[in-house]
Amino acid sequence: MADSGSNPAASCLEKTKSYAKTQKGLILSAEIIISFIILICYAASQYGGYSAIAICEMIFSIVIFVIFMMELDKQIQLVNWLWTDFLRAVIGAAIYIITSLVCVIGGYGDGARIAGGVFGLLAGFLFAYDTYTIYLQIKSTRQHSAASTDDRV
Protein backbone atom coordinates (compact mmCIF):
# COMPACT_ATOMS: atom_id res chain seq x y z
CA MET A 1 0.00 0.00 0.00
CA ALA A 2 1.28 3.38 -0.96
CA ASP A 3 1.05 6.04 1.68
CA SER A 4 -0.38 9.18 0.16
CA GLY A 5 0.32 11.29 3.27
CA SER A 6 3.57 12.74 4.45
CA ASN A 7 6.44 10.50 5.42
CA PRO A 8 6.82 10.35 9.24
CA ALA A 9 10.61 10.09 8.95
CA ALA A 10 10.70 13.22 6.79
CA SER A 11 8.43 14.97 9.27
CA CYS A 12 10.75 14.05 12.13
CA LEU A 13 13.76 15.22 10.12
CA GLU A 14 12.05 18.52 9.38
CA LYS A 15 11.19 18.99 13.05
CA THR A 16 14.81 18.27 13.98
CA LYS A 17 16.14 20.75 11.43
CA SER A 18 13.72 23.48 12.41
CA TYR A 19 14.28 23.01 16.16
CA ALA A 20 18.06 22.90 15.75
CA LYS A 21 17.88 26.39 14.22
CA THR A 22 16.33 27.89 17.36
CA GLN A 23 18.52 29.26 20.13
CA LYS A 24 17.67 26.45 22.55
CA GLY A 25 18.12 23.83 19.85
CA LEU A 26 21.49 25.26 18.91
CA ILE A 27 22.66 25.21 22.54
CA LEU A 28 21.46 21.64 23.05
CA SER A 29 23.08 20.53 19.78
CA ALA A 30 26.37 22.11 20.85
CA GLU A 31 26.11 20.38 24.24
CA ILE A 32 25.58 17.01 22.56
CA ILE A 33 28.48 17.51 20.15
CA ILE A 34 30.94 18.74 22.77
CA SER A 35 29.94 15.91 25.13
CA PHE A 36 30.68 13.44 22.32
CA ILE A 37 34.10 15.04 21.74
CA ILE A 38 34.84 14.85 25.48
CA LEU A 39 33.75 11.21 25.48
CA ILE A 40 36.23 10.44 22.72
CA CYS A 41 39.05 12.25 24.55
CA TYR A 42 38.38 10.53 27.87
CA ALA A 43 38.01 7.12 26.19
CA ALA A 44 41.40 7.59 24.52
CA SER A 45 43.14 8.60 27.75
CA GLN A 46 45.00 6.20 30.01
CA TYR A 47 42.40 6.72 32.71
CA GLY A 48 38.96 6.52 31.07
CA GLY A 49 36.92 6.77 34.26
CA TYR A 50 35.65 10.24 33.45
CA SER A 51 33.94 9.09 30.26
CA ALA A 52 30.80 8.19 32.26
CA ILE A 53 30.24 11.90 32.93
CA ALA A 54 30.32 12.72 29.23
CA ILE A 55 28.01 9.80 28.42
CA CYS A 56 25.43 10.83 31.04
CA GLU A 57 25.45 14.50 30.06
CA MET A 58 25.20 13.64 26.37
CA ILE A 59 22.23 11.31 26.97
CA PHE A 60 20.47 13.88 29.18
CA SER A 61 20.95 16.55 26.51
CA ILE A 62 19.65 14.22 23.80
CA VAL A 63 16.56 13.40 25.87
CA ILE A 64 15.78 17.07 26.51
CA PHE A 65 16.45 17.88 22.82
CA VAL A 66 13.96 15.20 21.72
CA ILE A 67 11.35 16.26 24.28
CA PHE A 68 11.49 19.91 23.21
CA MET A 69 11.81 19.08 19.51
CA MET A 70 8.74 16.83 19.49
CA GLU A 71 6.93 19.34 21.76
CA LEU A 72 6.30 16.63 24.33
CA ASP A 73 6.76 19.25 27.04
CA LYS A 74 3.38 20.66 26.02
CA GLN A 75 1.73 17.24 26.03
CA ILE A 76 3.22 15.84 29.25
CA GLN A 77 2.25 18.44 31.83
CA LEU A 78 3.03 16.26 34.83
CA VAL A 79 6.67 17.37 34.82
CA ASN A 80 7.84 20.98 34.90
CA TRP A 81 10.22 20.71 31.95
CA LEU A 82 11.69 24.16 32.42
CA TRP A 83 12.90 23.35 35.93
CA THR A 84 14.02 19.88 34.82
CA ASP A 85 16.14 21.44 32.09
CA PHE A 86 17.44 24.03 34.55
CA LEU A 87 18.59 21.35 37.01
CA ARG A 88 20.18 19.34 34.16
CA ALA A 89 22.14 22.37 33.01
CA VAL A 90 23.23 23.39 36.53
CA ILE A 91 24.42 19.89 37.39
CA GLY A 92 26.12 19.53 34.00
CA ALA A 93 27.97 22.83 34.40
CA ALA A 94 29.14 22.00 37.91
CA ILE A 95 30.24 18.46 37.09
CA TYR A 96 32.04 19.43 33.90
CA ILE A 97 33.90 22.33 35.51
CA ILE A 98 34.98 20.31 38.56
CA THR A 99 36.07 17.18 36.70
CA SER A 100 37.74 19.17 33.96
CA LEU A 101 39.84 21.08 36.46
CA VAL A 102 40.85 17.77 38.04
CA CYS A 103 41.78 16.34 34.63
CA VAL A 104 43.74 19.40 33.51
CA ILE A 105 45.63 19.72 36.79
CA GLY A 106 46.34 16.01 37.32
CA GLY A 107 46.68 14.87 33.74
CA TYR A 108 50.43 15.30 33.32
CA GLY A 109 51.68 12.96 30.61
CA ASP A 110 48.21 12.05 29.34
CA GLY A 111 47.41 14.36 26.43
CA ALA A 112 43.96 12.90 25.77
CA ARG A 113 42.94 13.48 29.38
CA ILE A 114 44.16 17.08 29.26
CA ALA A 115 42.33 17.63 25.95
CA GLY A 116 39.17 16.17 27.49
CA GLY A 117 39.64 18.52 30.43
CA VAL A 118 39.99 21.55 28.19
CA PHE A 119 36.92 20.60 26.18
CA GLY A 120 35.18 19.89 29.49
CA LEU A 121 35.87 23.43 30.65
CA LEU A 122 34.34 24.71 27.43
CA ALA A 123 31.36 22.42 27.99
CA GLY A 124 31.06 23.67 31.57
CA PHE A 125 30.82 27.24 30.34
CA LEU A 126 28.33 26.19 27.65
CA PHE A 127 26.16 24.46 30.24
CA ALA A 128 26.49 27.54 32.48
CA TYR A 129 25.30 29.73 29.60
CA ASP A 130 22.40 27.34 29.08
CA THR A 131 21.62 27.64 32.80
CA TYR A 132 21.59 31.43 32.47
CA THR A 133 19.23 31.39 29.47
CA ILE A 134 16.88 29.00 31.27
CA TYR A 135 17.00 31.19 34.38
CA LEU A 136 15.97 34.19 32.28
CA GLN A 137 13.14 32.14 30.81
CA ILE A 138 11.97 31.06 34.27
CA LYS A 139 12.19 34.63 35.50
CA SER A 140 10.12 35.94 32.58
CA THR A 141 7.40 33.29 32.94
CA ARG A 142 7.01 33.76 36.67
CA GLN A 143 3.97 35.79 37.60
CA HIS A 144 4.56 38.53 40.14
CA SER A 145 0.96 39.30 40.91
CA ALA A 146 0.42 39.13 44.65
CA ALA A 147 -2.92 38.13 46.08
CA SER A 148 -4.91 40.92 47.63
CA THR A 149 -5.07 40.79 51.44
CA ASP A 150 -7.56 43.59 51.69
CA ASP A 151 -10.90 42.39 53.07
CA ARG A 152 -12.74 45.52 51.93
CA VAL A 153 -13.31 44.37 48.36
Q: What confidence tens digit (pLDDT) does each residue in 111-134 have? A: 999 999 999 999 999 999 999 999
With beta carbons less than 8 A apart as the criterion, state whether 97 and 16 touch: no
With beta carbons less than 8 A apart as the criterion, state whether 36 and 42 touch: no
Query: For the chain, what is the mean pLDDT?
Result: 88
- 3-class state of residue 45 by DSSP: coil
The H or E element containing residue 93 is: helix 81-106
For residue 149, what pLDDT is reported? 60
25-40 mean pLDDT: 96
pLDDT above 90 coverage of the chain, percent? 71
Delimit the domains of the chain by residue range. 23-139
Q: What confidence tens digit (pLDDT) does each residue in 128-148 have? A: 999 999 999 999 988 654 455
